[in-house]
Structure 1
Amino acid sequence: MNKFIILHIVYSIFSFTLYAQDDYFTNNTFRYDNYIYKENIKTPLTYREGFELSYPFVELNNTDTITFTFDEISDNIENYNYTFIHCNSNWQPSNLSENEFIDGFYENPVTNYKQSFNTLCNYIHYKISLPNENIKLKLSGNYLLFVYENGDKEKPVLTRRFYVVETKTEIVASVKHATQIDLMKSHQEIDFTLHNVFTCNDPFSDIKIVLSQNGRFDNVISNLKPLFIKDNELIYNYEDGNIFPATSEFRNVDAKSVKYQTEHVQYIEYEKPFYHFYLYPDEKRTFKVYFQSQDINGKYLVKNSLGINSEIEADYLFVTFSLPFDAPMVDGNIYVFGALSDWQCKKENMLKYNFKKKSYELTLFLKQGFYDYQYAYMKDGINEADVGFIEGNHYQTENDYLIFVYWHDITSKYDKLVGLKVINSINPK
């Protein structure tokens, strides 16, 4: 039987079980978010060219390139097109026409693609680079890549968020344990100052701040107002309102090679037609002491350690996660969480409870590489993932924090992104 047909049958079994659990997940409407609309699209990545673990932003009118890649599990090359949508600071479409923020053609075909090479799973690898000879962006702000099928925007394939920055202020920031005594051991506080601030009529209403932990969107802090204004500085040194649960260091799975078992891999089996990685059962860390370990802050890196070009030589394989639990949760669900899930709690990454083994379990179909992950709990009716419920919270945890500074100039129709700072809790720069 054709390998692709076998894969589709296996994947459908997993998907059907999860689809049936919550009607919320059946919503497939267009979203101004990182989202995959087509089931066999896998491994979307957005990064600054040459830096695969970078956050997806570039400076306006800079020579840097933003790279978008994704795979389709298929033997066939599809006819895909793409465009870009300018969004405001709340990720809604800006009141701009395309010619105001796009220089070049508004819609372009995806012409950079390659077939997988020497892999058990056949796939097509697609790549888009920005800017290119057909299109570049003229304004700063939030942007959405929109890929669609056969020139029909009613057939979305995927959407990806990214940023274009025109720096107009210097951000000086620090991360420390929370000032509040009851949160001192579990939370991190982000204090910062905007130096050399541009001329602004009303910084309390015209400037918007967004704080993100490791690139997550579900728990951002926004709309902080300056606590003090001093000369040409805006000071945001709060004791409350600028704090995040610190979580714990990420767990990881190293699947760069099918030839040897890495630290967290219990065993590897070839279960025709694909390899299957079975991880050691993870343990709940809610009340464990802090344990320092190296991680990549929830990201993942595609890599076949035996290949030359991992983009097309990294194979796809099944990875099984398990989390022992005495009884299933009755008021929510548990998810494998991180960049591998687009930092979202969705059907594909929700664990199911195995009553026989007294364990939550999930099998994902992943491209070879190195993956960070955590377990997140999503309580029914709540839209923010609670990582600390399973992983615990420790102020010592190494995290990245992204500080976004938006300016809504009264003379313009859009939110400019005039500052973006990435600061690490252990190694501030």
Structure 2
Amino acid sequence: MALGLTAGCKSAEETEQAESTPASPAVQPELASPSASVRTIQLYQGDDEQSLPVTSMTGGDGLTLEFDLLTEEGRPLSIYFQHADRTWRRDLSPGQTLESFQDDRLVDYRPSRGTKVSYVHYQYRFPNDDIRFRISGNYVLRVTERGRRDSVLFEQPFFVTEAEGGLQLDAEGLPVPGQRQPSLRPRARFAPPSAIRGDPFGHAVCFVRNGRLADTRCEDRPLLARQPNLEFELGRDRAYAPATAEYGLDLSTLRSTAQIARVERTPSPIRVFLDPDYARFTEASRGPSLNGQTVVRSALSAQADPSITAEYVETTFAFVPSGETPYRRPLTVAGSFSGMDPARGIQMDWNERRGRYEGRVLLKQGRHQYFYSTSDPSLAQEVRRTQPRRASTYTAFVYYRDAQYNTDRLLRVGGLRP
């Protein structure tokens, strides 16, 4: 979930959805673009690298931030925190949202060991003795050069929930003409905490699929038939089309596999060439779902301290469109390495001789999710005709508009995997 997010290319499924969905305001973080020296940003709950960055004000596991700087020597850095409403508009000051200090230092860093590409690995856990949150909601962390708030290295979104109220989730399949699989409409039933049961219209629910914050869909008009419980469901025209354009990539073993065509170990960085992916075939569903996260430690558990011993490899992706004919619009490859945001993906080049697109991305050893993205509707049409539904994870965020602070509190977060 990283994002210097502005409008960009849509993925196949997003393009398909846009063909029949009225335009609506984007609900996504707008973050500073990361420095070119920053790689493999991970932000997750506790020790679970696949979890979304959600922590509770009531205790439990905090959040773990990990990232690398492509440099020979490390240095202390600074971290700041900014509250935002549910549309990611930054609002309250740190003095209103933090109980203790308003920033912290990043001093836990170590250089890589025995790798062809040198880097420095940073780790930071919060909340802690110096950083404690007094208000729930959406947040953005900012990592900068030490003591220089505007010298930004990257920004990353996360969530602080109150874990209040009762939440039940389910989903409804909606047949769509010309689409092989039905679209899916997630639904939420929420029992508000007793203190705010008298204000049903102050609530809203936002749904996220597979960790793609750039495709957040919200509903702020609850169904009131079962008060005091509230029901939320997306309109039929905003249901999620089948998620088929996502692939799993396992770089834990740098050797030829069913997915890796060949490995060149002599150059620095090591070069990995993937077998091509095909628009007309159904293997797009291969690989485990990582909920939009990059996994390093658990993917390389056989290594001693993989956070500093994993290699960075130049990974060449290849994609063959139907008929080996290029699209009318640019094609990008994006994924967990770009915050699941197509606008931050790598544009691929057309190889006329091979009849395919190719693009190179510097990736750390581990497991990644990725997908191909273009605003040309022909890719979405091909996916709709041929590829099966991929199992997806839906996350629901329940908000309440608090008049005292004029912002959205985050009451509860829940997950559903139909």
TM-score, normalization by structure 2: 0.84
Q: 1:300 maps to which residue?
A: 294
| Whole-Å separation in 1 of the counterparts to 2:338 and 2:69 | 17
Equivalent in the alignment of 2:85 = 88
* 1:193 positional shift: 1.2
| Amino acid paired to 2:289 | D
Is the alpha carbon distance of 1:345 and 1:397 closer, same or farther for their aligned partners in structure 2, counting shifts above 3 Å? closer
Please state whether the residue corresponding to 1:218 is helix, strand or coil.
helix
1:115 aligned onto 2:136: no
Post-superposition Cα deviations, 1:130-179, rounded to whole Å, max 9, x if no partner, equal 01222111110001111111322221111000000012221111124215
Q: Which residue of 1 aligns with 2:57?
A: 60
Q: 1:347 to 1:422 in 2, by over 3 A?
A: closer
AA at the equivalent of 1:221 = R
Instruction: State whether residues 253 and 372 of structure 1, in contact with CA within 8 Å, keep that contact through their aligned partners in structure 2.
Output: yes
State the distance in 2 between where 1:111 and 1:403 align: 34
Cα distance change, pair 196–218 in 1 and its aligned pair in 2 (3 A): closer
Cα distance in 1 between the residues matched to 2:304 and 2:383:
36
The structure 2 residue matched to 1:407, chosen from 394, 400, 408, is: 400
Aligned residue in 2 for 1:11: none
Separation of aligned partners in 2, 1:290 and 1:160: 28
Report whether the alignment pairs 1:132 with 2:125: no
SS of corresponding position for 1:371: strand
Alignment match of 1:44 (pick from 41, 46, 53)? 41
Q: What does residue range 296-335 of structure 1 map to in structure 2 within 5 Å?
A: 296-302=290-296, 303-304=299-300, 306-325=302-321, 326-330=324-328, 332-335=329-332
> Where in structure 2 are there 5+ consecutive unaligned residues?
1-6, 10-27
1:312 match: secondary structure: helix
Q: 1:374 to 1:291 in 2, by over 3 A?
A: closer
Matches within 5 A, 1:256-405: 256-258=252-254, 260-285=255-280, 288=282, 294-302=288-296, 303-304=299-300, 306-325=302-321, 326-330=324-328, 332-346=329-343, 348-378=345-375, 388=380, 391-392=383-384, 396-405=389-398
What secondary structure sits across from 1:229 in the alignment? coil
Corresponding position of 1:20: none
State whether residues 244 and 284 of structure 2, in contact with CA within 8 Å, keep that contact through their aligned partners in structure 1: yes
CA-CA distance at 1:248 after TM superposition: 1.8
Deviation, structure 1 residue 283: 0.5
2:160 — aligned with what?
Answer: 164
Correspondence 1:410-425 to 2 at 5 A: 410-425=403-418
CA distance in 1, matches of 2:29, 2:76: 22
Deviation at 1:262, TM superposition (A): 2.4
Mapped to 2, the partners of 1:123 and 1:55 lie a distance apart of 25
Q: 1:245 to 1:62 in 2, by over 3 A?
A: same
After TM superposition, the structure 1 stretch with the greater mean CA deviation from structure 2, 409-418 or 302-311, is: 302-311
Instruction: Report the alpha carbon displacement of residue 391 of structure 1 after superposing the two structures with TM.
Output: 4.4
Query: 241, 244, 252: which one pairs with 2:240?
Result: 244
Bigger CA drift: 336-345 or 386-395? 386-395
Q: Cα 1:202–1:214, aligned 2, differ >3 Å: closer, same or farther?
A: same
What one-letter code is carried by the residue in structure 1 that aligns with 2:191?
H
Deviates more, 1:405-414 or 1:339-348: 339-348
- Structure-2 separation of matches of 1:207 and 1:161: 21
Identify which range, 344-353 or 185-194, moves more after superposition.
Answer: 344-353
1:174 partnered with 2:167: no
User: 63-72 or 299-308: which moved more?
Assistant: 299-308
Residue deviations 1:286-328 (CA, integer Å, cap 9, x gap): x759967643344321144652111111110111011123333
On the 8 A contact 1:144/1:161 being kept in 2, the answer is yes
CA distance 1:389–1:139, change in 2 (3 Å): farther
Q: Distance in 1 between matches of 2:170 and 2:209?
A: 14
Structure 2 CA distance for partners of 1:70 and 1:88, relative to 1, 3 Å: same
SS of structure 1 residue aligned to 2:49: coil
Identical-residue share of aligned pairs (%):
21
Amino acid across the alignment from 1:100: Q
Distance in 1, matches of 2:404 and 2:104, equals 31
Partner deviation per Cα, 1:192-220 (whole Å, 9 max, x = no partner): 2113554244423x112211111112222
Instruction: Return the offset for 1:36.
Output: 4.1
**1:203 corresponds to which residue?**
200
- The residue type paired with residue 281 of structure 1 is P
Tell me the equivalent position of 2:71.
74
Q: Classify the secondary structure of the residue corresponding to 1:99.
A: helix
Specify every segment of 5 or more residues in structure 1 that has no aligned partner in the other structure, as ranges. 1-22, 26-30, 380-384
Q: Structure 1 residues 195 and 183, CA, compared in 2 at 3 Å: closer, same or farther?
A: farther
SS at match of 1:152: coil
Partner Cα distance (1:183, 1:197) in 2: 40
Contact 1:110 / 1:128 at 8 angstroms: preserved in 2? yes
Aligned length: 388
1:230 has 2:226 as partner: yes
Greater alpha carbon shift after TM alignment, 81-90 vs 213-222: 213-222
Q: Secondary structure at the match of 2:257?
A: coil
- Code of the aligned partner of 1:111: V
Aligned partners of 1:177 and 1:212: how far apart in 2? 17
Cα distance, 1:254 vs structure 2: 1.6
Q: Give the 3 Å change call, closer, same or farther, for CA 368–176 of structure 1 in structure 2.
A: same
Give 3-state SS (helix, strand or coil) of 1:402's partner: strand
Deviates most, 111-120 or 97-106? 97-106
- Equivalents in 2 of 1:336, 1:162: separation in Å? 24
Closer/same/farther in 2, CA of residues 194 and 202 from structure 1, 3 Å limit: same
| Code of the aligned partner of 1:406 | Y
Q: Secondary structure at the match of 1:277?
A: strand
